[in-house]
Amino acid sequence: MEFLDLFVVSLNPVLKTLLITIVGLLLAIPRIDILGDAARHHLNNVVYYVFNPALTGGSLADTVTASSIVSLWFMPVNILLTFILGSGLGWALVKITRTPEDLHGLVVGSCAAGNHGHLLLIIIPAVCEEDNSPFGDKLTCSANGQGLVSLSMAINAIYIWTYVYNIIWKYGNLSGKDIAKASTISIDCSGRTLDMFRENYTEALLQSRQSSFNDCEAPDDEYSEVQEHNIAVEDVPEKKETLLTKIKAHLDALSDKINLKMWFTPTTNATIVGLLIGVISPIRKLMIGDHAPLRVFDGSASLLGQATVPAMTLIVGANLLKGMKKSGVRVWLMIGILAVRYVALPIVGIGVVKAAQHVGFVGSDSLYVFILLIQYSVPPAMAIGTITQLFEVGESECSVIMLWTYGMAAIALTLWSTFFMRLVS
């Protein structure tokens, strides 16, 4: 395939994304006000609870089987490596650029999570349709590519809605208004301020402030009373903790640090259901196929899933209006994110995939190897915009990051795609 042909193939899907983003921006303008704050919030909830789960679960049920999962076992590992390497580079970036703490989760998430599904769903079929495609027959390439990209999208969704979701949630809570207020409170050792503190702040903040009370000295007129109380307490025999009590205490401590409920999001649950339908042959025959008795459920999920990409892109465009007015994304931070996504990760990805090929983890299928490589060079996942909208943290900054990264993708993704095709052909 000639460079100019490849450039057009890679440029078209990115331009489509940018055009829909502009539509979302226009709909958010106050004079039109179709995608205002309230409308954007409700649309986000629909994407989160309905559209994205339908797309992920439906695609998996249609394309994944037990045999394909066994042969493609390296893809989940490859995507996990993109998240781990991207997170490490993102963490280093926020430290070097001294990024505000409330944006740490957004920056790390943008460096870690790539668009391994929605963008590839447009790019891969377009590449397969070219007459001089290096991936063989058009129909075979398109069918295989659809299955590979669907699996990539589903795996990526699991990582995003567990790993990135919790990162943004954690940093959003750590940098929230409650902590800002808590840092300015003066503790009254007599206990009067403690009552107010308990009423207004969370239990986690109380625990973090507990050391402040331990350092306080009791007033002189209360010292003897406190001392007598301590002596009385010492006389009470300690209750022995049972093994069950200790286990429960450890589990409570773990659940305080990790929000386990966030791991089982609608998209994660839909992924599990889609995998079960695709892998279990009797259920697959009931629901998947032109002659399946319950094919209406698969058709409904597919119809809902088609709305995911346009809806998410419109939200990103609507958020851009806020980002154009005020944004906390500094120039060097933006350059750093672009360098991570379009320079560092693709170079590292070549080494990872080539090493996997050398030891026999990856077969000789050129299309499969190409998708593994391109997973390191895509822009950030658009689901990050949905997550920031849900938590109402870093929305404007996220829209600016999306604008620049998808704008640069028109050049960077095209160049890397050209190089990857020559590498696998």
pLDDT in tens, 123-153: 787 778 766 677 877 777 877 787 788 778 8
The better pLDDT of the pair 75, 182 is held by 75
- DSSP secondary structure string for all residues of 137-196: -HHHHHHHHHHHHHHHHHHHHHHIIIIIHHHHHHHHHHTSHHHHHHTTPPPPTTSHHHHH
Measuring CA to CA, which residue among 251, 276, 266, 189 is closest to residue 226? 189
Band of pLDDT at residue 85, cut at 50, 70 and 90 = very high
Residue 215 confidence (pLDDT): 47
Band of pLDDT at residue 355, cut at 50, 70 and 90 = very high
Which tokens belong to 385? 């915009």
| 256: pLDDT strictly greater than 60 | no
Residue 60 confidence (pLDDT): 79
User: Phi and psi for 380 in degrees, rounded to 5?
Assistant: -60, 150
Q: Which of 88-97, 174-183, 416-425 has the lowest mean pLDDT?
A: 174-183
Band of pLDDT at residue 80, cut at 50, 70 and 90 = very high
Contacts of 105 (CB under 8 A, 6+ apart): 167, 168, 169, 170, 171, 172, 393, 394
- Convert the pLDDT of each residue in 281-323 to its tens digit: 888 888 888 888 888 888 888 888 888 878 888 887 887 776 6
Instruction: Tell me the chain's radius of gyration from C-alpha atoms.
Output: 26
Band of pLDDT at residue 375, cut at 50, 70 and 90 = very high
Residue 212 confidence (pLDDT): 43
Contacts of 92 (CB under 8 A, 6+ apart): none
Determine which helix (DSSP H) or strand (DSSP E) holds 232, and give its type and residue range. Answer: helix 220-235
The better pLDDT of the pair 356, 202 is held by 356
Question: Taking residues 161-176, what's their average pLDDT?
Answer: 75
Residue position matching structure tokens 């078209």: 12
- DSSP secondary structure string for all residues of 176-190: SHHHHHHTTPPPPTT
d(CA 96, CA 89): 10
Q: Are 356 and 373 spatial neighbours (Cβ–Cβ below 8 Å)? A: no
Measuring CA to CA, which residue among 340, 324, 419, 328 is closest to residue 374? 419
The better pLDDT of the pair 319, 335 is held by 335
Residue 45 confidence (pLDDT): 87
Q: What is the mean pLDDT of the chain?
A: 76
Which tokens belong to 111? 């460096």
Q: Are 308 and 315 spatial neighbours (Cβ–Cβ below 8 Å)? A: no
Q: Which amino acid is at 32?
A: I
Q: Which amino acid is at 58?
A: G
